[in-house]
Amino acid sequence: MTNNKNNNNINFFWQLLSIYIIARLVTYYFEIVPVGEEISLKWQLMDPNLLSKDLLRTVYYLHYQPPFWNLIYGIFIKLVGVDYNKIGIALHFFNIFFSFITIYYFYLITNFFKLSKTLIYILYFIFFIFSIAFLYYETYMHYTHLTVFLFAQFSYLYLKFSENHLLKYELLIYLTALFLAFTWSAFSLPFFMIVLLIGITLIKYKKNILRSIIICFIFTLLTLTLSVKNKIEVNMFANSTWIGMQLFTVLSYGDKWDYWEQCNFYYKDIDKDEVSFKKNNPKFKNTHPSLVGNITKLNNVGFIYRSKKCLDLAINEIKKEPIDYLSRVKYLFISNHGHFTFDHVGWDPKEWRKYFGFFYDLNKNKNLSPIKVRSLQLYYLIMYAFFSLLTIKSILEINSDKNKINKSISAIFLIYVWLMLVIHIAAGYEQERMRHMGHFLHIIFFIILFKNKFNYKKIFQEYFKK
């Protein structure tokens, strides 16, 4: 009987995957595919020739962001060469591979919540087959799609951990976090590991707490290896060395554009900043082309000099007008949530606007745009209110062994809270792209809505009365 059930489950997953493959064949037919040339404009990526000739040292000397995405990019360059179109195709199939695994996590999570096949199909079509955002970032040459997979993995691991507190799930949560920290600077701060510890503690509180603290400490130290390496090589103890300019992407909204001349990401005058860096660091003698010269991109040591200078300027500005800074953060947070996650300036996939131009026309339509903005903001307000209240309840019931699944959902939400906090405090643009990482938070929210047939009384009873 059990074997028959397992076979049925496996067959059902392959049905889901088959539908996805058919959907992607359709999008290929309509020529919705990546634009290879966009790769050359990605500031996150080092020069392809540099990665081709000296992959390991180039990745090692990377200081303005964590190294894993460039390592992945460099491996593909080694496999297919430096032609952007070929690299684009390789990265697209890389994204599709992670789509397969992400769909598998979707299948496992919906099974965990014991959803009927009908409800699973409905959710699947909403969040995968007809999800414009999922399709967009699958064809967008960036690590965003990879982080969706990592968030899906977090979600499943936390849910499984809530069942039995097994060590293997706890370790896998931290390993996922370490991979994320080595991929995206928003998660490379060691404090993120403490967010995970808080989530794990919510679920099991005092049980094996010393074990959890030791694991958190070890992975915090592992995260700091990037900072130690950067201190040794370029005299800056930070996992990402460009925080100074990044802060000004928040401060520059409004009347502080005069600082943009000094605190930008442009290569203009970077040679002067490189000279200034060397004067301030006379022991620095490294001549590797990933650090000095004209093919370094944002990894030029001149940007470290610029970042330190701009960090001081930014801190002084925030100290002078903290309320003004907070109001800018608030404005960015509210306005960002009135946009779709694919509503950010970048290279759209080929033929994208031909089929999805309506969603961009909404932004220009004086009558429909406010409706779109307010509808999205209302949706996010409801979702955030639900998860926030659930998290508060989980904290208040931390001593109780009840509602472990609810506590695991709160732990998942805390990861998203960390993301929202970091990107709005220190990143003035592209929050739409960054927000897409939480694709599975929406899925979990809709699982709860669907299971309770959108009945707010049943939801209140299930999640707040028990």
- At residue 417's C-alpha, the angle toward residues 179 and 64, to 5°, is 45
Least confident of 10-24, 160-174, 242-256: 242-256
Q: Residue 2 — very low, low, confident or very high, per pLDDT cuts 50/70/90?
A: low
pLDDT of residue 8: 74
Report the percentage of the chain scoring pLDDT > 90.
Answer: 81
pLDDT of residue 258: 64
Q: Between 167-181 and 191-204, two packed helices, what is the crossing angle to 10 degrees? A: 160
Is residue 450 scored above 60 in pLDDT? yes
Torsion 186-190-195-199 (CA) sign = positive
pLDDT of residue 269: 84
Q: Between 191-204 and 404-426, two packed helices, what is the crossing angle to 10 degrees? A: 160
Interatomic CA distance for residues 379 and 369, integer angstroms: 15
Which DSSP category does 67 fall into? Answer: S
Nearest CA to 148 out of 88, 91, 72, 95 is that of 95
Interatomic CA distance for residues 440 and 151, integer angstroms: 7
If you compute the radius of gyration of the chain from its CA atoms, what whole number of angstroms results? Answer: 23
- Output the six-digit token pair for 453: 């047939």
Report the percentage of the chain scoring pLDDT > 70.
Answer: 97
Q: Span 239-247, mean pLDDT?
A: 89
Q: Residue 6 — very low, low, confident or very high, per pLDDT cuts 50/70/90?
A: low
pLDDT of residue 256: 58
Q: Span 274-280, mean pLDDT?
A: 96
Interatomic CA distance for residues 409 and 301, integer angstroms: 42
Q: Residue 430 — very low, low, confident or very high, per pLDDT cuts 50/70/90?
A: confident
Interatomic CA distance for residues 446 and 414, integer angstroms: 18
Q: What is the pLDDT of residues 204-237, one digit of tens each?
A: 988 889 999 999 999 999 999 999 999 999 999 9
- Output the six-digit token pair for 286: 């490294």
- Output the six-digit token pair for 338: 């009135």
Q: What is the pLDDT of residues 136-174, one digit of tens each?
A: 999 999 999 999 999 999 999 999 999 989 999 999 999
User: If you average pLDDT over every residue of the chain, what do you get?
Assistant: 93
For 451, counting Cβ atoms within 10 Å of its Cβ (0-12 exposed, 13-18 middle, 19+ buried), the class is middle
pLDDT of residue 465: 80
Nearest CA to 148 out of 132, 134, 130, 169 is that of 134
String of b and e for 22-56 (b: at least 16 CB within 10 Å)? eebeebeeeebbbbbebbeebebbbbbebbeebbe
Residue 407 vs residues 48, 80, 183, 298: alpha-carbon distances, Å: 45, 45, 27, 41
Interatomic CA distance for residues 417 and 195, integer angstroms: 9
Interatomic CA distance for residues 237 and 227, integer angstroms: 5
Other Cβ atoms less than 10 A from the Cβ of 279: the count is: 10
Helix, strand or coil for residue 146? helix
Question: Do residues 228 and 186 make contact, with C-beta atoms less than 8 angstroms apart?
Answer: no
At a CB cut-off of 8 Å and minimum separation 6, what does 37 contact? 84, 85, 347
Is residue 389 scored above 80 in pLDDT? yes
pTM, full prediction: 0.95
Q: Span 374-390, mean pLDDT?
A: 97
pLDDT of residue 248: 85
- Output the six-digit token pair for 63: 């200081």
Is residue 70 scored above 90 in pLDDT? yes
Helix, strand or coil for residue 345? coil
- 101 φ, ψ (degrees, to nearest 5): -70, -35
Beta strands in 125-188 (DSSP E): none
Domain residue ranges of the chain, discontinuous segments joined by +: 2-239+344-465, 243-320
